[in-house]
Amino acid sequence: MKPRLELVKNMTLSAWNAYAKYAWGDDVLLTYYRRPRLGRSFDNSGRSILASMSTLWIMELHEQFNQGRQWIEQQFNFTAIDNLMLVHHQVTRYMGGLLSCYALTGDWMFVEKAVAIAEQIEQAFNTSTGE
């Protein structure tokens, strides 16, 4: 492996391991304090896990990918996430992350989770004003 590629892969692995140790399932790791940033209604949303999955797969960090996949399958619960979160974030961060994982792996579980989100946010597109 090229030295620069190996450095980037090791940095990614280091960041993932710190997140897994100190903020697993939460949205943001405060690295200086070694704890998650808390106090928002969508804490424990798994957004960082979902956002990292395709990168982990492409970097061939399959053990870490499988760790995230297990969390998504067993603990990800979109209905627990604040309804006030922007639809844009719900589509790009959650559905986009899930559908990217499906595109890379062919694992249907990711599609099932994305469909569940789509069903939850469908009401945002069925307004009387179209806004």
> Which residue is it, tokens 């450095």?
7
How much is the pLDDT for 32? 58
- Phi-psi bin for 37: left (phi > 0), alpha (psi -120 to 50), beta? beta
Mean pLDDT over all residues of the chain?
81
How much is the pLDDT for 41? 46
| CA atoms of 120 and 87, how far apart (whole Å) | 10
Indicate whether 51 pLDDT > 80.
yes
Instruction: Find the helix or strand (DSSP H, E) in which 105 lies.
Output: helix 96-105
Indicate whether 112 pLDDT > 70.
yes
| CA atoms of 31 and 21, how far apart (whole Å) | 11
How much is the pLDDT for 74? 94
How much is the pLDDT for 23? 81
pLDDT tens column, 59-74: 999 999 999 999 999 9
| For residues 120-127, average pLDDT | 74
Band (pLDDT 50/70/90 cuts) for residue 92 is confident
| CA atoms of 83 and 115, how far apart (whole Å) | 17
